[in-house]
Amino acid sequence: MKRKGEVFRRAFLICIVLVIICIMLFLAAYTYFGRRTYVLLEREQLNKTADSAQELFMRPADQTLSRTTFLGYLDAISYSNETFYILLFTNNDDGNYYYNTNIENYQDSPYIQEIYERVLSGEAIELNNFKISESKNAICAGRPLYLESDSQPVGCFILIKEIYNVNSAFTRLSRALWIVSFCLLPLMILSAYFAVNQMMHPLSEMTNVAKQLSKGNYGVRAKEDYPGELGLFARTLNNMSSALSSTIQQLESEKRQLGYILSSFSDGVAAINKQGELTHYNPALMKMFGTVDIHSPMDLVPDRSIWDAFDAVVDSEEPRVFHYNLPGERTLWITIVPVLSDTDGCVGAVGVFKDATEIEKLEKMRNEYIANISHELRTPLTSLRGLLEPLCDGMVKNPETQERYHTIMLHEVERLSRLITDMLQLSRLQAGTETMDMTMFDVNELLEEVMQSFQSTAKKRNIRIELETHEDLSPVLSDRDRIEQVLVILIDNALRYAKTTIRLRATDNAHEVIIDVWDDGIGIAKENLPRLFERFYKVDSSRKDGGTGLGLSIAKKIMDQLEEQIEVDSEEGEWTCFRFTLKKYVSNAIPLSSVPDVVIPSSEQNPKEP
């Protein structure tokens, strides 16, 4: 059986107590008022009997009863009603009384003598609390007896009924009533149980609805067909449930949206409440600090100083911005702002952790770029100024010297022109405005042409250019002019630093042709290789001579634009090898989308001789 609730138990207990109290009050009231009423009823009955007896005696003369007959009548009344009587007649001859009674020693009772003296004087009496003796009370009714010819009573009679007898009869009745009441008490309790259960059923149902709402089941509803306040309460509960369901759904939707927003942030986000408890954070922040299992703020960001900054913002209600350094030369910009409420003041704080490593790196590169441009522009301009000033001042008179000055000035102007041209081309490549004319061409033919164009320069520097190709090398699909430009940049770079040999080599695999530009120069240190394709980057210790410092950057951007790969490998003091790929031409299958990244295979031969 389902366990009843506390409200049911209390209501049932109250009903039982009320039933018992009502029964007790009823029985007490019945005992008190019923006894008096019963005595009054007995007295009225006794008065009626007395009146009847008086009328019987006072009939016409020809119907007058004898004393003996009247005495018999009183005996009959006394027997049937459990009543005592006293009958007195005056004796006119000697002044004595004739009497008869069924009360023993009535003459010894001064109370009885007082009563019959009053009745003999002609007074009809009715008494509720008449004393027969010191210990006995009774009700009585006394009537005088007259004859038609007499104006004075010839006698009297008094009917007396002891209250003890009345009480005895009433007690038996009361006892029967008590017994019946206690017999009916279990039935009343059972009826109260079912009545309370019936009354509590709607409340129990609505309590279950409230419990389901507290568990998150907002679709449950209570019956609304109950009468009166219960129906109103059920409808109010359902309205509240609907409103709560709508509110919870809206909050959950907003929570999901907030979760999506926080998850989409590349910056880390964390929020705390006024007590310093963590309320929100996103995966980006977890990734920054490499945390997985989060239970407290220190689990998320294991640095007490950061959370002290959060607490300081909550206390001061003023935002804070500061830098924080992570291992591995990483830098964070942390911005913490207070969360203010209209009524409660500051209720928490929100912090944004922005990884500024790339930003600061780009800022550093920008500063270096500006410094490099300034340096590269200042160098030829300084040379030109240094040559023009003597010429303008007329200090150079020798024609041969003037011609030499003019030659140097032309060289510096050409250098400045190349620098500006390279900068503009690199800018267009970075902006994506340079178009690529994709055509099929023969790599062997291109390599032969480029090699021939550098032969005279190589001979002047006593450098040998070698070409290794295969006659069955597949044609490629790319921009021929751009690939030629890349080869020119790489060979020109190799000519500056090669000792004796530059080797061009073309190989292929299933999907691409691989071109190597190798030289036996002084090589490049391993730590400088990652930055070799940056703008204006020069390895000061080994490559002080050279062009503008933009050639390799242009080559890198061209290969990126063609969706090809270019890389460099080197052994310091021994050799340097640049390697890039070209997609093979496939008949009737010109790719229209990006080609997947391809890993350039390492040469099976010794890198010294690719």
- State residue 568's pLDDT score: 92
99 vs 151, residue with greater confidence = 151
Q: How far apart are CA 567 and CA 560, in angstroms?
A: 11
Tell me the three state secondary structure of residue 154. Answer: coil
Q: How far apart are CA 532 and CA 572, in angstroms?
A: 14
Q: Are 286 and 300 in contact (CB under 8 A)?
A: yes
- State residue 148's pLDDT score: 67
590 vs 548, residue with greater confidence = 548
pLDDT in tens, 294-315: 888 888 888 899 999 999 999 8
Which residues touch 532 (CB under 8 Å, ≥6 apart)? 524, 539, 552, 568
Tell whether the torsion through CA atoms of 483, 485, 489 and 495 is positive or negative: positive
Average pLDDT over residues 329-338: 88
Average pLDDT over residues 400-418: 79
DSSP per-residue string spanning 273-333: ETTS-EEEE-HHHHHHHT----SSHHHHS--HHHHHHHHHHHHH---EEEEEEETTTEEEE
Q: Quick one: tokens of 358?
A: 């790339």
Please name the residue ranges forming H helices in 58-129: 67-81, 110-120
| Residue 254 φ then ψ, to 5° | -65, -35
Q: Are 551 and 422 in contact (CB under 8 A)?
A: yes
CATH homologous superfamily, domain 8-170: PAS domain (3.30.450.20)
Average pLDDT over residues 75-91: 70
Percent of the chain residues past pLDDT 90, beyond the cut: 11
Q: What's the pLDDT band for 604 if we cut at 50, 70, 90?
A: very low
* Of the candidates 562, 559, 554, 558, the residue with the CA atom closest to the CA atom of residue 595: 562
CATH class as words, domain 265-355 = alpha beta
Q: How far apart are CA 541 and CA 561, in angstroms?
A: 31
* Helix (H) / strand (E) containing 420: helix 399-431
Whether 370 has a pLDDT exceeding 50, the answer reads yes
Q: How far is CA 605 from CA 447, 512, 609, 610, in A?
A: 21, 19, 7, 6
* Helix (H) / strand (E) containing 568: strand 566-571
- State residue 162's pLDDT score: 75
Q: What's the pLDDT band for 603 if we cut at 50, 70, 90?
A: very low
Q: What's the pLDDT band for 601 if we cut at 50, 70, 90?
A: very low
pLDDT in tens, 193-219: 777 777 777 777 777 787 777 777 777
- State residue 128's pLDDT score: 77
Which residues touch 427 (CB under 8 Å, ≥6 apart)? none
* Of the candidates 122, 121, 78, 133, the residue with the CA atom closest to the CA atom of residue 101: 78
Whether 13 has a pLDDT exceeding 50, the answer reads yes
DSSP per-residue string spanning 68-82: HHHHHHHHHHHHHHT
| Residue 65 φ then ψ, to 5° | -85, 150
pLDDT in tens, 507-554: 988 889 999 999 998 888 888 888 888 776 666 544 445 556 677 888
Residues written for the chain: 610
Low-confidence winner among 91-95, 187-191, 514-518 (lowest mean pLDDT)? 91-95
CATH topology of domain 435-583: Heat Shock Protein 90 (3.30.565)
DSSP per-residue string spanning 491-529: HHHHHHH-SSEEEEEEEE-SSEEEEEEEE-SS---GGGG
* Sheet bearing 345-355, strands edge to edge: 278-281, 268-273, 345-355, 330-341, 320-326
Q: Which CATH number fits domain 360-430: 2.60.410.10, 1.20.1510.10, 1.10.287.130, 3.30.70.2190?
A: 1.10.287.130
* Helix (H) / strand (E) containing 16: helix 6-57
Give the chain's count of helices (H) and strands (E).
13, 17
52 vs 378, residue with greater confidence = 52
Which residues touch 40 (CB under 8 Å, ≥6 apart)? 128
